[in-house]
Every structure is written in structure tokens, then in C-alpha cells.
Structure 1
Amino acid sequence: MKKIGIIGAMQVEIDLLIARMETYENSTVAGFPFYTGTLFGKDIVLTRCGVGKVNSAACTQILIDRFNVDCIINTGIAGSLRKEIGILDLVISSDVTHHDVRKAQMKNLFPYQESFIANNRMIVLAQKACETLEVKPNYHFGRIVSGECFVSDTRLKETIINEYSPACVEMEGSAIGHVAFLNNIPFLILRCISDQADDEAAMSYENFEKLAANQSAAVVLEMIKMM
């Protein structure tokens, strides 16, 4: 990969990555900050897209058009949707989709995709990164779903599980995968679990937000090192 794009929704999700960049220049496009420089000698464009699918879609298209990235990694935190996926576990995306868009609409309207498939080479690289870290995190593979709400309701959680059988839920990944698909750009969504997406999610999120964000970023750093 010649130039690697990295997206985090919030500042806490990219702070560790900024701190590790050898050099960077900061620019702003449409209100999004872009840090262009090097990480382990690789050309990197790091950005913060803000929360939500509209923000992440707009930011991803700018990352592709203006900065000509060859692949995209989305790093951040999420709520677990499987009993076996615990707090601070990693989820490596197999595919992504919108949990707040009907399946029929996804299938029958442009771009005629029920989900967007993550790049297999990047999936393997993320697994190797998890295995290489000194303190190896628990990691899982599976579908990641996104919607324009923070899921902190057990009934909504069960509805999403029954409809999509996902590993975790967040608010940006499916839009990033959607835009990457439209542009034929390889992508991977990587998430570390901060909460269980249930009635206790808000409290858990506050306690584990930074730890989870840094855990995901640590895996991204290892991936870049091995690229």
C-alpha cells in the first residue's frame, strides 16, 4: 500500500496515532482535520471524522479524492452484540452494513449491496497484529453494524442482533465501508469494545472509552509496522 488512510471518529481514538507519527502536516478540509505524514516510514493520512454516518461518509470521500489514499483503516470503539465478546476485546470486520436501513432497500437500490466486504489481506494483517502485540488482546471476526444512534437499550440491541447477527455496533464503520466500496478502495473496520450496548452502556462507555480507543489504535500501529 503506497498511502494509508486512517479514520477515527473522536479525538481520543486518534491521539495515540498522532503521538507516534514521525512527521506530519496538519490541514483542514470541510472542517475535518487531516494529518499527513509518516508512521514507521509509511505514508499516512490520519483524520478525525466526527460521530455519525454522514460525517464519516463525507470525510472518507475527501480522504480518497483529496489525499489519494490506497486503503482505509477505521479505528475506534463499539458496543458488543455477542455474549462471548467482552469489554476491551477487539472485533475485526468481515463486513459492514447499516442497521437503520432496511435490507430490501440495501439490496434493491444503488449500489445494490446488503453489506460491504472488508479486504481479506487487511483482515489477515489485523489478526497478525493482534498476535504480535506483547499483551495479546482477545479478538473476534464478524459483521459490524452502524446507525445514527448510540445503542444503549437492551430491546434495540436484541432487535439488531436478530436482524443482522453482528459482532458489534457503532456509528461510522458502515458508511466508511460503503464509500470505500463505491471507490473500489480496500478497507477494514477495527473496533475495541467499550460497552455491551445495553441499558448500562453509557456508564461502561465512560469507564472504558480511552482504554478501548488506545487498544484499537495499538493494533493499527502494529498493522502499519507490518505493511
Structure 2
Amino acid sequence: MTHFPIDVPPAARAIPRAGTAPDDRPRVAVVTAFAPEIAILETALEGAETRRIGPATYITGRLEGREVVLFLSGISMVNAAMSTQAALDHFNVTSILFSGIAGGVDPGLGIGDVVVPARWGHFLEGAFARETEAGYALPGWMSAPVANFGMMHTCPVGVVAPGADAPQGRFWFDTDPMLLELAEAAAAEVDLLGCDAEATPPRVVIGGNGISGPVFMDNAQFREHAHASFEARVLDMESAGVAQVAYANGVAFVAFRSLSDLAGGGGDENEMVRFMSVAAENSARLMRAVLARLPVSL
């Protein structure tokens, strides 16, 4: 969920681009946002084969005994949606598991905790409203599902559901219920890394809301707004975009997000750089535990 540039290694740049023929073998898509997250998983991948499709690199192989396609979504919403749709177009993806770091919005959570939200929404999909004597007001033909933050009003996004012919307004995109159940079962057995000896041991939290947007959030006031208005637990830069693509294609989705920072709620400078390795490892551990429990149908 950072704005840091990703330096693509020369080996990746030299990979030949794949043709248009689809890969029909059923695979689980394992997705991360940026290099430090995917590095944890690449070392565990068996029988890795790499191909380039458009701007993204996809690695097929076996992880936790399952056939997977592992790839970087890229940082932020458009990159994540683009790379995920390309994966669905080229591979026979049966489900999508996203593993990564996030900013903590719920004040009851701590750095290192892993959150598996039951649904995701785009908090910056909407309108910057006109200022009037009565406050910031939307045009009469627009509506917002939650309270505004100054001029910023969040609105539903138009998306065509599977089997539909026209877009409908939708704000929340649900996590697959079976994947959520598997996450809850796996949470009881997974060991998470702690941030330091004095910190409260990290935990897994299942359910609630996550929100995403194309900004790095490090603002205490918006953090409070996000928790109060969206009832959000975590905030990141990709998950809602991937959840929307999964919904539009009728593919099961779940995201595992571990807190690397408090999205502006900490007392000092943002904590992400200090704790992103621990957070990335914790989310990957839970994701792998769920992957190992997946039934063949997913």
C-alpha cells in the first residue's frame, strides 16, 4: 500500500511475452502488491515457470500443494485491477487470495495483526462536492452511502454483475463466505511474528469492513472518519479493486491484510517502513494456511 516505485529486475524485463492461448489448468491466484511481499512467497514456490502478460509478470507453480499463479498486482487500484483481469483472462483462476500489508483504522487493532474483512469498498469513489451555505452538497441526482469528509463524498461504483447487461451502483464487494470460514479455522493454528518483546502479541481478526483507495493514508482525522463512517478496520490501496474484478467475473476472493502502520494514528512518523517485513510475513502465513485448506473446487 505504498507509493514506493518497484524496480523490475533485468531478468524480469527479459522474459518473453506470453501468447494469447489460455492456460486451462485450474489455479489459485495468489496476489501481492509489491516486491517485499512477493519475495516471501517466491522462495516457497515449487516448479516455478514465469511468463509476461502485458506489463505484469506471472509465475505458475505449486504452493502448499496447490497449483497457483503468483503475481504482483502492482501498487494502487488501477494496477491491481488491470493485472488481476489479465490473470483471469489468461489463466483458469478458481479463486483469488490477496496477501499484503495495510494501514490500521480500527483503534482496537495493533501493528502485526492480520485482518480478513468480510467486504471491501472504494472510499475515494465519489464526488468532491460544491460548497453551499448549508455545507458541502451533492447534486440532487447523486447519493452517498456514508457521511462525507468535508467536500469528499463517497458514492457507489457502477459495475456489471455476472450475467447482467448493464452496470448497477454498488459500494461493498463481499469476501467469499467459504474462504472466510477457512480463514477463521486457519487463524486458530497460525503462528504470527511479534513486533517486539513488549508489544501485545499479534492476532487474527476475521470479518468487518476494509476500504481501499489510490492514496497512501497517513492522516489521523481521516482515519477517525474511516472507522466511524465506514466501520472500517483496515485501509489499503488495492484490495477493493481486486474484489470488484473478482465480483464482475464471478470468482471467489479473499484478502489477508496485516497492519504495517496505523494510517496516521500513531504518535510519531508513519511506521510502515519499520514494520512492513513483519506485516508481510504475518499476512503470508495466514494466506498459506488457508491455501493449504482449500477444497479442490476452489
Please confirm whether the aligned pair reaches a TM-score higher than 0.5, indicating the same fold: yes
- What amino acid does structure 2 have at the position aligned with 1:106? P
Give me the whole-angstrom Cα distance separating, in 2, the residues matched to 1:138 and 1:65.
36
Query: Structure 1 residue 161: deviation in Å?
Result: 2.3
Give me the whole-angstrom Cα distance separating, in 2, the residues matched to 1:166 and 1:188.
16
Query: Structure 1 residue 74: deviation in Å?
Result: 0.9
- What amino acid does structure 2 have at the position aligned with 1:172? E
Query: Structure 1 residue 220: deviation in Å?
Result: 1.2
Give me the whole-angstrom Cα distance separating, in 1, the residues matched to 2:96 and 2:277.
22
Q: Work out whether residues 29 and 97 of structure 2, in 8 Å CA contact, stay in contact via their aligned partners in 1.
A: yes
Q: Counterpart of 1:143? A: 209
Q: Counterpart of 1:88? A: 112
Q: Counterpart of 1:203? A: 270
TM-score (norm 1): 0.93
Query: Structure 1 residue 84: deviation in Å?
Result: 1.1
- Count matched residues: 227
Work out the percentage of aligned pairs sharing the same amino acid. 25
Q: Which has the higher helix share?
A: 1
2:218 partner SS: coil
Query: Structure 1 residue 71: deviation in Å?
Result: 0.5
Give me the whole-angstrom Cα distance separating, in 1, the residues matched to 2:168 and 2:211.
17
**Is 2:201 the counterpart of 1:177?**
no
Give me the whole-angstrom Cα distance separating, in 2, the residues matched to 1:100 and 1:134.
34
Deviations 1:116-159 (A, max 9, x none): 01001101111222212245951112211000101001122222
Q: Counterpart of 1:187? A: 253
- What amino acid does structure 1 have at the position aligned with 2:95? C
Equivalent runs, 1:89-168 vs 2, <5 Å = 89-102=113-126, 103=144, 105-106=155-156, 110-135=167-192, 137-140=202-205, 141-168=207-234
Give me the whole-angstrom Cα distance separating, in 1, the residues matched to 2:202 and 2:292.
18
- Shifted more, 194-203 versus 109-118: the winner is 194-203
Query: Structure 1 residue 223: deviation in Å?
Result: 1.3
Compare CA radii of gyration and give the structure with the larger one. Answer: 2
- Shifted more, 44-53 versus 126-135: the winner is 126-135
- What amino acid does structure 2 have at the position aligned with 1:161? H
Give me the whole-angstrom Cα distance separating, in 2, the residues matched to 1:106 and 1:49.
23
Deviations 1:43-100 (A, max 9, x none): 1001001110000000110111111201001110001111111110010020000010
Change (3 A) 1:165 1:199: closer
Change (3 A) 1:202 1:223: farther
Change (3 A) 1:134 1:152: closer
- Shifted more, 11-20 versus 205-214: the winner is 11-20
- What amino acid does structure 2 have at the position aligned with 1:171? M
TM-score (norm 2): 0.72
Q: Counterpart of 2:291? A: 224
**Is 2:91 the counterpart of 1:25?**
no
Q: Counterpart of 2:74? A: 50
Give me the whole-angstrom Cα distance separating, in 2, the residues matched to 1:124 and 1:17.
23
Change (3 A) 1:199 1:124: closer
Q: Counterpart of 1:70? A: 94
Q: Work out whether residues 95 and 142 of structure 1, in 8 Å CA contact, stay in contact via their aligned partners in 2.
A: yes
Once superposed, what is the RMSD of the aligned Cα atoms?
A: 1.9
Stretches of structure 1 lacking an aligned partner (at least 5 in a row) = none
Give me the whole-angstrom Cα distance separating, in 2, the residues matched to 1:67 and 1:52.
22
Change (3 A) 1:204 1:41: same
Q: Counterpart of 1:38? A: 62
Stretches of structure 2 lacking an aligned partner (at least 5 in a row) = 1-24, 127-143, 146-154, 160-166, 193-200
- Shifted more, 122-131 versus 146-155: the winner is 122-131
